[in-house]
Amino acid sequence: MNPFLTADYRDGRVRIDSKTYAAGAYAVHLLNQYYRNDTAARISVYKQYGWNVAEQLSAGYLKETDFISVGTEIGFILDTLPNLKPFSALDVIAERNRITDLFSENNAKQITDFFHHRSMVESKAQIELDLDLLPPEYDKVFFKESNALIAEIMETLAFYNAISTDMQKAYKQLTVFASRVDEANRFDEEHLLPIALEVFGSVPFPVTTEYVPTRKNAKSKTETLARRLYFDSYYSFIITDFFEGLHYGHYPRRCGVCKKYFLMTSARRQQYCNGLSPYEVRGKRVTCRKYAANINRKELAAADPVVDIYNRRCAAIRTEKGRKTITEEFAKAAQTLAKEYKLKAQQDAGYANRQYAIDMRRERLYEETDKRLKQSR
């Protein structure tokens, strides 16, 4: 289990390596860091030899040049990985030394010798093995050490080979969720969870859990329990962080001014963050919220009746789907049609003022949805 993917969760907070944040903060960090300094691209490009060596070891052979090249590839990944939390706490020097030692010429030779010796043992007839008539190539200590070495290498490869894919998958899903937040009638777990489940699905993670004593804060004299979770992949960590936050009403939003993502920890309809705006007001830098207020951009979704009608209809569709009064296929088709009407209303003021609200009524929308489904069959 990778030691850098261990987190303590308690009361909507996450603690890693003595640093504590609101649950969901690491998911938001990924959203903002993904393209910054080409983080994702720099990590994604180095995985050719890692995949090759993993396949070779699984098949029972090894190319020494590929094996040595893996250490070089991971070294390049380590140039960028600390830009991504929680790996900012990574002891890069110690990890580089571990990788150098692990993917060394000596280890390559040991593994190739092991595969050769193992093949000699496996070539013996079963009856000889049953009688413990093992060939001289069998060395119990050597076999045990070699199997442990290969296990460590495979665990290391599994992490570094998957980190780029994990980032891409998590980033894509988190951006989709953030773009759909306004579909919820209220910004709490009850109303946001159905959207999250549509985006992420139900994916079981192989997470190990234990309960550990912890202090609520630096001034606390007594201890309480926290759940310590051990993750075997970056994806399982990020998505767990997201859902842990969602359980406490935390969710990512994208600021309408600076376009950065921020973590909401309340159910308010806030569309702009409290970070510094890239723009100035009367020569001074102000927060995005103050800048938006200054140019009269309202934060209530109700200020846009087209979006408000769409959000309420989509919420009603999800509710009916959850109650099994409509099928998943019908719900998806109805949401697609509702989105069409919304886009049309945003582009055609006449339609928005006269027909949009009528078309979005339940009976009218469902009637047209049913008609389209029948035509497509």
pLDDT digits (tens, 9 = 90+) for 47-57: 889 999 999 99
Bridge partners, 7 (sequence order): 229
pLDDT score of 302: 47
pLDDT score of 1: 46
pLDDT score of 298: 46
Question: Looking at the 3D structure of the chain, how many domains does it have?
Answer: 2
3-state secondary structure of 118: helix
Residue 298 lies in a domain: no
H or E stretch including 43? helix 39-44
Q: CB of 268 within 8 A of CB of 303?
A: no
φ, ψ for residue 278 (rounded to 5)? -75, -5
Digit-coded pLDDT (tens) for 146-156: 999 999 999 99
Q: Determine the Cα–Cα distance for residues 333 and 335; give it in Å rounded to an integer.
A: 5
Residue 336 lies in a domain: yes
pLDDT score of 133: 60
Residue 70 lies in a domain: yes
pLDDT score of 322: 92
Q: Which domain holds residue 366?
A: 304-376
Look at residues 134, 169, 204 and tell me which one is the last residue of a structural domain.
169
Q: CB of 328 within 8 A of CB of 321?
A: yes
φ, ψ for residue 326 (rounded to 5)? -135, 155
Digit-coded pLDDT (tens) for 33-47: 999 989 999 998 888
Look at residues 112, 146, 169 and tell me which one is the last residue of a structural domain.
169
CA 47 to chain centre: 19
Of residues 24 and 117, more confidence is placed in: 24
Kindly report the average pLDDT of the chain as a whole number.
88
Residue 240 lies in a domain: no
pLDDT score of 353: 83
Q: Residue 124: is its pLDDT beyond 80? A: no
Residue 275 lies in a domain: no
pLDDT score of 306: 85
pLDDT score of 193: 93
pLDDT score of 303: 54
Residue 18 lies in a domain: no
Q: DSSP per residue over 51-107, as a string?
A: HHHHHHHHHT---HHHHHHHHHHHHHHHHHGGGSTTGGG--HHHHHHHHHHHT-HHH
Digit-coded pLDDT (tens) for 219-245: 777 888 899 999 888 999 999 999 999
pLDDT score of 81: 93
Mean pLDDT for 133-150 is: 83
Look at residues 103, 137, 169 and tell me which one is the last residue of a structural domain.
169
Mean pLDDT for 113-124 is: 84
Least confident range of 2-11, 191-200, 286-295? 2-11
pLDDT score of 337: 95
Of 180, 184, 183, nearest to 200 by C-alpha is 180
The neighbour count for residue 352, using CB atoms within 10 Å, is: 18
Digit-coded pLDDT (tens) for 247-275: 999 999 999 889 999 999 887 778 889 99
Type of residue numbered 23: A
The neighbour count for residue 361, using CB atoms within 10 Å, is: 12
pLDDT score of 291: 87
Residue 3 lies in a domain: no
Q: Residue 2: is its pLDDT beyond 60? A: no
pTM: 0.73
Q: Residue 104: is its pLDDT beyond 60? A: yes
Digit-coded pLDDT (tens) for 304-361: 788 889 989 999 999 999 999 999 999 999 999 999 999 998 888 788 888 999 999 9
Residue 191 lies in a domain: no
3-state secondary structure of 19: strand
Q: Residue 300: is its pLDDT beyond 50? A: no
pLDDT score of 88: 87
* Residue 115 in tokens: 């595969």
Confidence of residue 14 (pLDDT cuts 50, 70, 90): very high
